[in-house]
């Protein structure tokens, strides 16, 4: 089913011009799934090993088409003109029963391709439509770089009658549940230099795509509980801890100044200082910002005396001293000590963090605790 707002949305701008409307008669998206698997039990059914390969064909996905009249404002209509294919395999190790422990481990590897049928833009002006049809890459298929992920749900519990040496069942009905999730960082296209070319005659694109990776994602959630039963009443004390290890994830990695400050793998797509950074790398809040810029003119005056400038030819770093007592501008430049550079790069002090510092990390560790009461009316 399509989302309600995309089916019935009707928006106007401040001039009362139509800018967006939905379509309640949208074709429903359709998914056709195939899966081939093998299950095998080990240790008299204590463990279950599952291997499977899957393929999902999704058609008539929601999309939008923008109409541009000769006179008037453009408006956007909800359509069903996109598709995607998802394929991969997964491995699962599962223990469903047990007096003390149960849970599962899962690893999934999948790849996705997607594209569009039809036009994303329609122009009333025939010339503009012809130019768009000749140059559009809208119908090119997008193939993502596979990003595997893994999940685990581990549950440790004590039997209800456990712990007689500390009193009647004092250590019974204790449960510790741990949820773990890891995703390999996905890839995105970062090409501010607009490097590469388009070959319209062969309907092919040589544009640089999927050239920068995000940092890996990791999350852990812990739940601890203890149940106490008194006649017909069960009292459960619990504590939930999200982001158990207080893993920091940077917010707003799309900020342009932030991206330009990273040391990214060398590419014609951007002018960053070469390095191994990924989108999502950050400077520790306790480290002072030390800007670094790529490129240096040792015979000129730089725009900033605070910044350190990188010479790609010699792989050295230079800084300018605005000392009027030194008549020769070239003599005002000095090479930065390599030990200092190593420390700056190790601390990632060069990263220009996006937003005010209060918005850098929006996922602090959170602890929720409380009581549950259950009544047995039988």
Comparing C-alpha atoms, which of 319, 326, 314 is closest to residue 340?
319
Residues contacting residue 347 through CB under 8 Å, at least 6 positions apart: 283, 284, 287
What pLDDT is stored for residue 7 in this prediction?
A: 81
Cβ burial of 356 (10 Å; 0-12, 13-18, 19+) is: exposed
Half-sphere exposure of 126 (CA within 13 A, CB side): 0
For 122-144, what is each residue's pLDDT tens digit?
899 998 888 888 877 777 777 77
d(CA 337, CA 335): 6
Q: Tell me: the pLDDT tens digits for 310-322? A: 999 999 999 999 8
Burial class (CB in 10 A: 0-12, 13-18, 19+), 262: buried
CA distance linking residue 256 with residue 112, whole number of Å: 27
Q: For the chain, what percentages of helix, strand and coil (3-state, to nearest 5) are there?
A: 10, 45, 45
Helix (H, G, I), strand (E, B) or coil at 242: strand
Give pairs for 203-212: CB < 8 Å, separation 24+.
203/140, 205/137, 205/140, 208/267, 208/268, 208/269, 210/144, 210/145, 211/187, 211/265, 211/267, 211/269, 212/187, 212/188, 212/264, 212/265, 212/278, 212/279
Q: Which of 209, 198, 89 lies closest to 144 in space, CA to CA?
A: 209
Q: Looking at residue 200, what is its pLDDT?
A: 42
* Tokens encoding 27: 């074709």
Residue 197: predicted pLDDT: 57
Q: Looking at residue 206, what is its pLDDT?
A: 63
User: Residue 67: what are its φ and ψ, rounded to 5°?
Assistant: -100, 130
- Output the pLDDT for position 168: 62
- Helix/strand/coil (H/E/C) assignment for every residue in 80-135: EEEEEEEEEEEEEEEECCCCCEEEEEEEEEEEEEEEECCCCEEECCHHHHHHHHHH
How many other CB atoms are found less than 10 A from the CB of residue 102? 16
- Positions of the chain with pLDDT lower than 50, given as ranges: 199-204
């Amino acid at each position: 089913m399509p989302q309600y707002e995309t089916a019935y949305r009707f928006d106007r701008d401040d001039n009362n011009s139509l800018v967006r409307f939905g379509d309640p008669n949208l074709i429903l998206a359709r998914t056709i799934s195939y899966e081939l698997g093998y299950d095998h039990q080990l240790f008299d059914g204590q463990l279950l090993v599952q291997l499977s390969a899957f393929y999902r064909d999704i058609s008539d996905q929601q999309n939008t088409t923008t109409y541009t009249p000769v006179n008037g404002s453009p408006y956007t209509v909800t359509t069903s003109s996109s598709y995607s294919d998802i394929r991969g395999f997964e491995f699962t190790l599962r223990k469903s029963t047990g007096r003390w422990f149960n849970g599962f481990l899962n690893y999934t590897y999948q790849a996705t391709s997607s594209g569009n049928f039809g036009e994303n833009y329609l122009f009333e002006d025939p010339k503009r439509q012809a130019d768009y049809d000749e140059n559009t890459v809208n119908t090119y298929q997008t193939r993502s770089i596979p990003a595997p992920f893994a999940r685990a749900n581990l549950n440790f519990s004590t039997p209800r009658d456990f712990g007689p040496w500390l009193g009647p069942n004092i250590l019974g009905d204790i449960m510790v549940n741990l949820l773990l999730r890891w995703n390999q960082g996905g890839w995105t296209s970062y090409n501010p230099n607009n490097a590469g070319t388009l070959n319209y005659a062969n309907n092919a694109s040589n544009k640089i795509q999927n050239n920068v990776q995000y940092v890996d994602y990791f999350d852990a959630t812990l739940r601890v509980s203890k149940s106490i039963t008194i006649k017909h009443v069960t009292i459960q004390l619990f504590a939930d801890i999200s982001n158990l290890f207080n893993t920091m994830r940077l917010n707003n990695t799309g900020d342009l100044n932030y991206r330009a400050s990273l040391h990214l793998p060398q590419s014609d797509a951007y002018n960053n200082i070469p390095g191994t950074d990924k989108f999502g790398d950050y400077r520790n809040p306790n480290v002072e910002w030390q800007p670094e810029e790529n490129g240096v003119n040792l015979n000129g005056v730089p725009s900033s005396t605070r910044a350190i400038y990188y010479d790609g030819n010699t792989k050295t770093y230079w800084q300018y001293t605005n000392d009027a007592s030194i008549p020769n501008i070239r003599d005002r430049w000095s090479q930065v000590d390599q030990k200092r550079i190593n420390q700056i790069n190790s601390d990632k002090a060069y990263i220009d963090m996006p937003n005010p510092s209060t918005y850098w990390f929006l996922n602090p560790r959170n602890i929720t605790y409380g009581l549950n009461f259950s009544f047995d009316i039988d």
